Amino acid sequence: MRKVVSIALAAPLAAACFYAEPAWANSSESNAEEEAETFVISANRRAVPLREVGSSVSIVTAEELEAQGIFYVEEALRRLPGVQASSSGARGGQVAVRLRGEESYRTLVLIDGIRVSDAALPQAAVNFGNLTVTAIDRIEVLRGPQALHYGADAIGGVINIVTRRGRERAASLSAEAGSFETYAVRGYVGGSVNAFDFALSGDWSRTDGISAKVEDPSVADDDGYRNLTLHGVAGFQVSDGTRLEVVARFMDAYAQFDGFLFDPDRDLLTEEFAARVSLATDEISGPVRHEIAYNFFQSQRRDLDGGLPTEDFFGTPISRFDGERHEIEYIATLSHANGHGFTAGATYRTEDVETDSLSDTTSALAAFAEWQAEWNGRFFTTLGARFDAPEDYGNHFSLRATTAYLLRVTPGGETKLRASAGTGFRAPSAFERARNASAGLPGLEEETGIGFDVGIDHGFWEDRARMSLTYFDQRIEDEIRFDNVGFTGYFQSSGTSHARGVEASFEAELTPQITLSGGYTYTDATVNSPDAEDGLPRVRRPRHLGSADLDYVGEGERLRLNVNLRGAADAEDGFREFRTDLDDYFVLGAAASYEVANGVELTLRGTNLTDRQYQEVSGFSTPGRAGFAGIRLRY
């Protein structure tokens, strides 16, 4: 680990040697500094200017989500470098999102600070098929191991979703209809009264969908889906420097799906409830900012066959999956004094899982601290450590270091050299432990991960164009794998699974009205296992992945157009000798909106416009050409 941390601290200084006589720009000449700063929250658990962050981060704003006609979070994530997604057929099916070639359950997902992974899944993860963009203000994707601030499950990185606050009075209502008998309604209202503010939003959608399973023998077996999501945030300014806030989120989803043996009557009912209560101070109240919060997440799933609880081959019910998580956290941040600052915190978390076949309770206590330093306004470093003390497996010690170095190589843009290194881990899930216990197999320990990245962010053309290039390397030790030979349970691989690659992105303002942006990811991720899987590529990870967007904003911003092209190549699915190649593909989409009157917009979007037939999961189809039209009202 010492070697990896050294890379993070030294790489920008070494890379600077490749630039002869950089022309430093003072603040009066810097176009980037004159513009409003972009801040990142997830990297250091506090708002930090993006130009000072050494981690690899992507940000998606609410304005971008709206302009691109996006309704589900996974649609936005697919356009980012380092992010891979695979869908098991129709809307409502399992959608897995992976960072840097890692499994989806090694990516931590937060909504307003609440962990929203389903603890009752075989491996605790999030089904992005149910996650809409309701109330979202921004999405931050933080790549690389992040155990320092977040503990378990953040080996691939963190997807941090931040929702709107009602500090400004606003209201909106939109409706849409289109292909596959799809209908959707979305609403928002927010405002403030004296020291109180609120933001309430919700959306409802339904679709007849498509037949998820390829070559399903059933006739006209479309797999329908519906979703109701409600989200609310209420805040009260207790004093000039202290804020009390309550967050609540509810999701109710129903999905039809085709099971392994083409049973067309399978239904999945999912309910989730999340809540957070926090009390926080800011810099007005003193040099140390405090925040204490209680988080709660509950998930309930029912797998039904013909309206009845599902049973296995032996008649045992396998229909009920309930999970519950409680978490208390405290964070203290010391404001920068002479260029130095500190963040420290502690968390206590419990998880309860109950299904038809198992019941399990776990708990963990953790503490962390991070030092942040600024040197001459151009060199920024962080170094931190964390200690986790779980109840049912070994203690874990985590490290993380980052650095960013600013220089200018052209008169029209700023350049940042950056690097980060860190460790992560994933605890064995309740399902994995119970499966091994019932089969008399050895107990499981946590997986451990280590990774680093080095990159450059460069602005040019008077900062109207920006590019980013990153090399990453990640490794998993003691990986928990399923026995796909004897199908007995789970085992711990003794070797190292490896993922490495390159992430590239760009954005260019071609004219005041036209912007071109995009990204490319090369991922080489391989399996380490004592069986026939050893050395094979990890499944459903395209080696090549790319996306490009062309955006147009008309005079007066009344007309907005977006065209998106994304594609993937060189991916496999299956296991052992049953591996199969997935088709390479490109998918074309477009979205448009036009303000016909003050506060009234018409919307139009199309997906898979070339009607490309492809599979992201072997045996499961994806939707063909589709179109949707709607109206949006604003106040």
Distance CA(95)–CA(592), nearest Å, equals: 26
User: Taking 60 as the threshold, does the pLDDT of residue 633 lie above it?
Assistant: yes
Mind listing the pLDDT tens digit for each residue in 188-233? 999 999 999 999 999 999 999 888 777 665 555 788 999 999 999 9
Contact 139, 540 (CB under 8 A): no
Contact 251, 272 (CB under 8 A): yes
pLDDT at 5: 42
Contact 474, 146 (CB under 8 A): no
- pLDDT range class, residue 439, cuts 50, 70, 90: confident
User: Taking 50 as the threshold, does the pLDDT of residue 1 lie above it?
Assistant: no
Q: Which residue has the higher pLDDT, 167 or 526?
A: 526
Mind listing the pLDDT tens digit for each residue in 242-300? 999 999 999 999 998 776 554 556 889 999 999 999 999 986 667 889 999 999 999 99
SS3 576: helix
Can you tell me the mean pLDDT for 464-469? 94
pLDDT at 535: 85
E-strand ranges in 135-224 read 136-143, 157-163, 170-178, 182-193, 196-207
Give me 32's structure tokens.
Answer: 């980037």
- Neighbouring residues of 6: CB distance < 8 A, sequence distance ≥ 6: none
Lowest mean pLDDT among 354-363, 385-394, 408-417: 408-417
User: Taking 60 as the threshold, does the pLDDT of residue 32 lie above it?
Assistant: no
**Residue bearing tokens 């490319």:** 520
| CB under 8 A, 24+ apart: contacts of 593-599 | 593/66, 593/67, 593/69, 593/559, 593/560, 593/632, 594/558, 594/559, 594/560, 595/557, 595/558, 595/559, 599/633, 599/634, 599/635
pLDDT at 11: 44
Distances (CA, A) of 119 to 7, 408, 430, 551: 35, 47, 8, 39
SS3 446: coil
Distance CA(210)–CA(623), nearest Å, equals: 7
Strand partners for 617: 620
pLDDT at 409: 67
Most confident of 14-28, 253-267, 305-319, 483-497: 483-497
Mind listing the pLDDT tens digit for each residue in 304-350? 887 778 776 666 778 899 999 999 999 999 877 678 889 999 999 99
| Nearest by Cα to 168 from 191, 186, 146 | 191
Contact 445, 478 (CB under 8 A): yes
Give me 263's structure tokens.
Answer: 């049973």
What is the CATH architecture of 2-634?
Beta Barrel (2.40)
DSSP 3-state percent helix, strand, coil across the chain (nearest 5): 10, 55, 35
Question: Which DSSP category does 212 fall into?
Answer: -
CA angle 110, 566, 109 (to 5 degrees): 5
pLDDT at 2: 41
In sign, the C-alpha dihedral spanning 125, 74, 151, 536 is positive
Question: Which DSSP category does 557 fall into?
Answer: G
Contact 23, 102 (CB under 8 A): no
- Neighbouring residues of 160: CB distance < 8 A, sequence distance ≥ 6: 41, 42, 110, 139, 140, 141, 142
Q: Which amino acid is at 83?
A: V
Can you tell me the mean pLDDT for 32-61? 84
pLDDT at 285: 63
**Residue bearing tokens 């080996």:** 155
Q: Which residue has the higher pLDDT, 26 or 126?
A: 126
User: Taking 60 as the threshold, does the pLDDT of residue 619 lie above it?
Assistant: yes
The per-residue pLDDT of the chain, averaged, comes to: 88
- Neighbouring residues of 610: CB distance < 8 A, sequence distance ≥ 6: 586, 587, 588, 625
User: Taking 50 as the threshold, does the pLDDT of residue 567 lie above it?
Assistant: yes
Contact 156, 85 (CB under 8 A): no
Distance CA(141)–CA(159), nearest Å, equals: 5
- pLDDT range class, residue 494, cuts 50, 70, 90: confident
Contact 421, 401 (CB under 8 A): yes
User: Taking 60 as the threshold, does the pLDDT of residue 31 lie above it?
Assistant: no
Distance CA(383)–CA(371), nearest Å, equals: 5
pLDDT at 350: 95
Q: Which residue has the higher pLDDT, 140 or 436?
A: 140
